[in-house]
Structure formats: C-alpha cells, structure tokens
Amino acid sequence: MIAIDTSSEYYIHPNENPSLILVSPVLDGPNYYNWSHSMAMALEMKNKASFVDGTLKKPVSDDPEFPMWKCCNTLVLSWLIHLVSLEIAHNIIYIDTAFDAWKELKQRFSQGDHVRISQLLTDIHSLKQGDSSVTTYFTKYKILWEEYCNFRPLTPCDSNSCKTHKTIKEYRDNDSILCFLQGLNDNYSTV
C-alpha cells in the first residue's frame, strides 16, 4: 500500500471537488480585497496557497511530480473559476495555471487601491456613533480600520528597523484610538 502524505500540497482530500464553495460571496469586482483575503485563507487551509502565490513552480512535463501538479492546479483553477461572477469567469477560463489566473485577478481588480484607500479614510473620519450602541459603532469602525490596515500593512521588522517599526505602529495605534474617540457621541467627550 502507498503511504499518502496529507501534508503535501499535492494531497487532495476525498471531499474536495471542483465545485466546492470555499468562500462566499463570489468575486464581483468591488469586493476583490475581501474576496482575495478570504480566498487566500481558504487556500492556505487546504494547503493549496502555493499554487497561487508563486512558491510552487510548475514542474516540467517529464518530471514525476507533473501529473500531481497538473491535477491540483486544475482543481485550484476550477475553484477560482467557480468562485467569481460569470462575467469574470469568462475572462479567466482559458488561463492555464491557477497562479496566472490569480495574478490576472489581482492586476485587474487591485488597480483601485488609491481610490479605495481614500474612501476608507473618508469613511473612518466621518463615521459617528449616532443612535448605535458603542459596541455596534466599534464593530463598524473596526471593519473599516482593519480594511485600511490591510491596504497599508506595516513592513516586517528586521534588526535595523525594529525601533522605527515600533514607533510607526504606535503612531498608527494612536491614530486609530483618536479616530474612534472622535466618532463617539458627546456624552463620551470626557474619555
């Protein structure tokens, strides 16, 4: 009997199939960032992220791993095609690799970064508690702030930049607190 390595990116669980719904809702364009983040997490959980992030290279056709790579690539590609709108699917259906399809989607839909960042900043600074509870207001605020931070991630810290990284993170955290507090109702003005 052949041993199956379930930790391999080539392992396909018996319940995985081309029409498996990994995320919802499907990509429709404006929801690209939330969709891509959810999809990346789902692919990571399925141990298939390497097919879209470029870390697993396509083997040459006479490599013994090629048939396994081809099967898994086709599975991931089919997930991508099934988890986008019909209009978007028509644009990626003839792409041969999951990596190229992922790259195409990113190039096509991440072009609005600056517009979305501007909109997020406007939404963050104009968000007010109003009739909402503090919990509801905080939840709305946190969703906007986390999406903004996703667009503007802090660079990883290396030994030369750790102090700068820490300072920038402190500034960002303080900015977040101030923005949140400014949106609270007047009865919280002493906070």
What backbone torsions phi and psi does residue 154 show, to the nearest 5 degrees? -75, 140
In whole angstroms, what is the distance from residue 167 CA to residue 2 CA?
Answer: 54
Q: What is the pLDDT of residues 133-154, one digit of tens each?
A: 999 999 999 999 998 988 888 8
The pLDDT of residue 113: 75
Neighbours of 40 (CB within 10 A): 15
Identify the band that residue 54 occupies on the pLDDT scale cut at 50, 70 and 90. Answer: very high
pTM for this one?
0.71
The 3-state secondary structure of the chain reads: CCCCCCCCCCCCCCCCCCCCCCCCCCECCCCHHHHHHHHHHHHHHCCCCHHHHCCCCCCCCCCCCHHHHHHHHHHHHHHHHHCECHHHHHHHCCCCCHHHHHHHHHHHHCCCHHHHHHHHHHHHHHCCCCCCCHHHHHHHHHHHHHHHHHHCCCCCCCCCCHHHHHHHHHHHHHHHHHHHHHHCCHHHCCC
CA-CA distances (angstroms) from residue 105 to 26, 84, 154, 167, 186?
Answer: 13, 10, 24, 35, 44
The pLDDT of residue 88: 97
Average pLDDT over residues 15-19: 90
The pLDDT of residue 167: 87
CA-based radius of gyration for the chain: 21
Mean pLDDT of the chain: 91
